Structure 1
């Protein structure tokens, strides 16, 4: 798949994600006004943050797709991590607000008064249907393009299905049995899920901004490709770092020092293509060393 097609698919996923989030925010605002249910307030906050995240993700996808320039020789993919870090802070704040409101309602002597539970349930069912459709499309795009932003957004929306189902249970319990306090319990559970998701998103974004290396499986996979590549006698100094959806790879390979420069170049170029074939989002830089060469005594990194 060419880069133009990948960019079009990734942008389509971002636009669809933002559109679904906007529809759900409007629908849940209306449902909250009708029912006064904190469980719906929790899913509303989640959808509002989804909208911010989707818009941020869409902007990050578009910005990260820009080619390297004089000021950004390694591209613009770190924009994805900056956006994710800011989103995680917003999610944590929202989770705290929901948790405090739910706790105060549980501790209050006055029972929670919910209304129009049936209308709220209809909105939650609409939310589940739209979210499920979005998740299916995002899964298809992520599978074809390997974009981490789309994949992460898909996991987030997949997690949204749980609070929506919880809101339906809370509304049904209130309408059928008058158990209004279940709404606050569900809201607390939704707040906990939001907080866990925010911490995970923030940790991954922070690690990427701090130039953390790729996961062990990816590093091992790149090493296996290098070790088995024809003409490569060995390799060393394999270094990686992750920025947004890209993996930057630096690798030293050991070649027969008696071959021509053209032959050495052909081996290195073929190895680079092999690595990118397995890891399409990789940016690979290969340095070639003759077998058995000793580091120069003045080299500070020997």
Structure 2
């Protein structure tokens, strides 16, 4: 699949996500006015954040796809991590506000009645159906492109399903049993889920911005490819870092120093192709060393030879 095809799929996921969030914000605004339900208010806040997150993610996908230039030799993929980190902070603040309001209602005594529960439930069912359709499309795009922004957005929307179902249960409890306090309890649960999701997204973005290495399974996979590649006598100084949906790989390989430069280049290029075939989102740089070469005293310390 070409980079342009990947970009189109990622942008389609971002546009669909933003569109669904916008529709749900309008529907839940109406439902909140009709029912005065705090659970719907929590779900509305979540959808409003979804809209902001999705728009930010869409902008990040478009910006991160820009090619490298003189000022950004390694591309612009870190924009995805910056967007995710900012989104996580806003989501945490929203979760705190929802929790504060819910606790205040619980301490204030029996709440007033929730009105027009039927309409509120209809809106929440619509929310669940649209969210399921969106997540299904996002998961398909993720399988094709592996984009981290789309994956994080999909995970967040999947987490929205439980607060949505909880809001329906709260409305049913109010309608059938007069248990208005369930509304605040569900809102507290939704706030907790928002906070957990925001912390997870924020940690992933922070790790990437701090140049954390790639997943250990990927590192082990690259090591396996290098160790069995024809012509490679050994390898060392394997370094990885993640930026958005791109994993940068730097690897030193040891080759027969008596072979021609053309032959050495062919081995390095072949190894690079093999690594990218296994990990299509990798940006690979390979340095070639003769077997047994002694490092110069002025060279920086090297990792243990393998």
TM-score grouping bracket, smaller chain normalisation: over 0.9
8 A Cα contact 2:110 2:181, kept in partner: no
Q: How does 1:23-38 map to 2 (within 5 A)?
A: 23-38=23-38
Instruction: Report the 3-state secondary structure (helix = DSSP H, G, I; strand = E; otherwise coil) of the residue aligned with 1:241.
Output: strand
Mapped pair 1:70 → 2:70 = yes
Mapped pair 1:224 → 2:197 = no
Question: How many angstroms does 1:148 deviate by?
Answer: 1.2
RMSD: 0.8
Mapped pair 1:138 → 2:147 = no
The CA distance in 1 between the partners of 2:195 and 2:300, in whole Å, is: 45
Mapped pair 1:125 → 2:125 = yes
1:22 alignment counterpart: 22
TM-score, with length taken from structure 2: 0.97
8 A Cα contact 2:240 2:248, kept in partner: yes
The CA distance in 1 between the partners of 2:10 and 2:149, in whole Å, is: 9
- 1:257-288 CA-to-partner distances (Å, cap 9, x unmatched) read 11110010011001111111111111000000
Question: How many angstroms does 1:155 deviate by?
Answer: 1.0
TM-score, with length taken from structure 1: 0.99
- 1:131-158 CA-to-partner distances (Å, cap 9, x unmatched) read 0000000011100111111111111111
8 A Cα contact 1:117 1:175, kept in partner: yes
2:147 alignment counterpart: 147
The CA distance in 2 between the partners of 1:299 and 1:90, in whole Å, is: 45
1:264 alignment counterpart: 264
The CA distance in 1 between the partners of 2:300 and 2:228, in whole Å, is: 30
Question: How many angstroms does 1:299 deviate by?
Answer: 1.4
1:82 alignment counterpart: 82
8 A Cα contact 1:240 1:249, kept in partner: yes
1:177 alignment counterpart: 177
Question: How many angstroms does 1:113 deviate by?
Answer: 2.2
8 A Cα contact 1:112 1:181, kept in partner: no
The CA distance in 2 between the partners of 1:27 and 1:111, in whole Å, is: 24
Question: How many angstroms does 1:110 deviate by?
Answer: 3.9
Instruction: Report the 3-state secondary structure (helix = DSSP H, G, I; strand = E; otherwise coil) of the residue aligned with 1:109.
Output: coil
- 1:67-87 CA-to-partner distances (Å, cap 9, x unmatched) read 000000000011111111110
Question: How many angstroms does 1:112 deviate by?
Answer: 3.4
The CA distance in 1 between the partners of 2:156 and 2:71, in whole Å, is: 33
Q: How does 1:236-275 map to 2 (within 5 A)?
A: 236-275=236-275
Question: How many angstroms does 1:298 deviate by?
Answer: 1.9
8 A Cα contact 1:38 1:183, kept in partner: yes
The CA distance in 1 between the partners of 2:284 and 2:19, in whole Å, is: 36
How many residue pairs end up in the alignment? 302
The CA distance in 2 between the partners of 1:109 and 1:23, in whole Å, is: 34
Q: How does 1:42-61 map to 2 (within 5 A)?
A: 42-61=42-61
The CA distance in 1 between the partners of 2:142 and 2:110, in whole Å, is: 48
The CA distance in 1 between the partners of 2:39 and 2:19, in whole Å, is: 23
2:188 alignment counterpart: 188
1:293 alignment counterpart: 293
The CA distance in 1 between the partners of 2:269 and 2:53, in whole Å, is: 38
The CA distance in 2 between the partners of 1:190 and 1:111, in whole Å, is: 19
The CA distance in 1 between the partners of 2:253 and 2:181, in whole Å, is: 64
8 A Cα contact 1:84 1:202, kept in partner: yes
Residue segments in structure 2 that go unaligned for 5+ positions in a row: none
